[in-house]
Amino acid sequence: MKILAIMGSPRKKGNTYQLTRKVEENMKQLDDVEFEYIFLKDLNLKTCLGCQVCFDKGEDLCPLDDDRAILEEKIHKADGVIFTSPTYVFNVSGLMKNFIDRFGYVCHRPRFFKNAIILTTSGVGTGSDLIMKPFSLALQTWGFNVIESFDIIKNGDPNSKLTTPVKKVNKKVKKTAKKFYGSLRAGRPKASIMSMVFFLFAKKNIKEVNPEFYDYNYWKGHGWLENNADYYYDPETNLVNKGLARLLSKFIGFVM
């Protein structure tokens, strides 16, 4: 089992790394799990130019010549991915944000249908709650099933009331490692009602765009625009859930 840990801190051996290592140690107690750490700091991942060529013409035509495609290949090869970042001024780190932006085209053309977890650390806990939602949403639009996300406060003073107690951290890490491992053993994630709603809503929007549009062809090529497509792949769910997802997506479309 291969896990890829994408590290968003410029401090390679900092708090976020230490937390991730704890998850690794716990997972290795469960099975023969292979970990690979990618430090965004070391990667040649240039700043997004905002040209939108990846959206309009395809990511292969991105004018930036760097390691983006190599990183995408690594994500494809992993069974599960851990995304990590310190909290920087109510947000993820600049390194992590640039990584998310450089993979912006995946929001339009999802492809990573696998399980993931998010780990963050903060100095005093301010803003960590704010970053989880957009962080997790970005990954979900890429196809990931985010099974767990949590932040620990590591303000340097172990006796500070603000620091997450070691016992609590260890308990959470153990639980997360077990849950993540279990999800990876179970294989491709089953679709929840909400993820089907999201798919159906996106499908409706894509169907309405110009068929010349790059995303339209991607969706069509995958068979996702077919009337009977409820999800990117067989959602392995019952007819009631499928019907509910269709109703909800219609309702959202109507309200919006």
Ligand X SMILES: Cc1cc2nc3c(=O)[nH]c(=O)nc-3n(C[C@H](O)[C@H](O)[C@H](O)COP(=O)(O)O)c2cc1C
The CB-of-160 to ligand X minimum distance in angstroms stands at 12
From the list 10-18, 75-83, 176-184, 229-237, the region that binds ligand X by CB under 6 A is 10-18
Nearer to ligand X, 121 or 195 (CB): 121
Question: According to CB under 6 A, which residues from 131 to 170 bind ligand X?
Answer: 154
| Maximum CA extent, the chain | 61
Nearest-5° Cα angle at 246, 245 to 251? 95
| Single residue of 49, 51, 69, 124 touching ligand X by CB under 6 A | 124
Q: Which is nearer to ligand X, 5 or 191 (CB)?
A: 5
Token pair of 2 as six digits: 């291969």
**Cβ 165 to ligand X, closest distance in Å?**
16
In the set 60, 65, 89, 210, which binds ligand X (CB under 6 A)?
89
> Which of 8-16, 43-51, 179-187, 196-204 is the region at the interface with ligand X (rule: CB under 6 A)?
8-16
Q: Per CB under 6 A, does 90 bind ligand X? A: yes
**C-alpha span between 62 and 35 (Å, rounded):** 29
Nearer to ligand X, 58 or 125 (CB): 125
Contact partners, residue 139, CB within 8 Å, separation at least 6:
83, 116, 118, 146
Count of residues in contact with ligand X, rule CB under 6 A: 19
Residues in the chain: 256
Which of the 8 DSSP states describes residue 239? H
Q: Cβ distance 104 to 68 under 8 Å?
A: no
Nearer to ligand X, 39 or 233 (CB): 39
Residue 127 contacts ligand X per CB under 6 A: yes
- Residues 132 and 146 sit within 8 Å (Cβ to Cβ): no
> Which range touches ligand X (CB under 6 A), out of 9-17, 56-64, 187-195, 211-219?
9-17
Any idea which residue has 């023969």 for tokens?
A: 32
- Beta-strand (E) ranges in 135-189? 145-153
CB-nearer residue toward ligand X: 20 or 195: 20
Element (H, E) at 83: strand 80-86
Residue 4 CB-density burial (10 A; 0-12 exposed, 13-18 middle, 19+ buried): buried
Which is nearer to ligand X, 122 or 145 (by Cβ)? Answer: 122
Residues in contact with ligand X by CB under 6 A are: 9, 11, 14-17, 86-90, 121-127, 154
